[in-house]
Amino acid sequence: MPIKNPKVTVVGAGNVGATCAQRLAEKNICDVVLIDIIEGIPQGKSLDLMEARPVELHDRKITGTNDYKQTKDSDVVVITAGIARKPGMSRDDLLKTNAEIVGSVTDEIVKQSPDSIIIVVSNPLDVMTHLSWIKSKFPPHRVFGMAGVLDSARMRFFIAEALNVSTEDVQAMVLGGHGDQMVPLPRFSTVSGIPITELLPPQKINEINERTKNGGIEIVNHLKTGSAFYAPASSAATMVESIVQDRKRIFPVAAYVSGEYGLKDVFVGVPVKLGSKGIEEIIELKLAPEELEALHKSAEVVKKNIAKLSELSLV
């Protein structure tokens, strides 16, 4: 059943968080609490977004605050807090700083919204999702990361661009960790149900796969002083929508696996059904041996980075 009068908190009023709040309100998905540690930033951005209501024609409320008490009893919490990448940095370079931030944020979420669903956006995403799960002690179906939705969206755009077709007719599937070891799956990527392996030559597909893997750093290199935020915000918002409206959409997300795909005890990108209770089902695709091997290699990278949390005494 859809969640009645949903309340969603977005932690972090930077570019990703503020844009996510905007998407949620302007799509009439839910009321939003936008929280940040910097005084004035969430209040100012929230007021600016509220003043756009008469133009955008919605009546959703966006509240800016520095006080977690105002997030109390949130149905969903989206964690975007953390530092962004700069040119030359990998997502893993952010590990220590963002782990401290995500850990403290999760502690506050648990105090105020013990029945919430947590969506992690902060990088390195799979590791931060694992950390939030450990800190929260929530069941794994209520803690997961926004990764494959974004990576698949990028791949969908690159496919549509290559074929000069509407993105509306394009679906793509990207599994694995949210990093260089992600696993684009051309066999499961389609245009109106037609696999792209029948529409594009292998060389072009390989180019799309590589551009998908490097989609984030390509934007970082252009911006110089920031990272992507429009597409990540939209990806998080569409996940929230599927949850609060109980849409039961199928998305690849960073989910905890306990035997699926032959993997255990790790958060990695796999297709799931998202509904009002969070992850309602993990869907196992029949992967070719080379695809499964690539997924396992990606999961091993995530496990190595999770181990760094223990080395740094962060879990």
Q: Which amino acids are annotated catalytic?
A: 178
User: Rounded to an integer, what distance in angstroms lies between the CA atom of residue 288 and that of residue 285?
Assistant: 9
Q: What is the dihedral of CA 41, 43, 44, 45, to 10 degrees?
A: 80
User: Rounded to an integer, what distance in angstroms lies between the CA atom of residue 248 and that of residue 279?
Assistant: 9
User: Rounded to an integer, what distance in angstroms lies between the CA atom of residue 36 and that of residue 214?
Assistant: 29
- How many CB atoms are located within 10 Å of the residue 163 CB? 15
Q: How far is CA 5 from CA 8, 76, 246, 247, in A?
A: 10, 12, 13, 16
Q: How far is CA 285 from CA 18, 210, 242, in A?
A: 35, 22, 21
Residue 118 is given by DSSP the state E
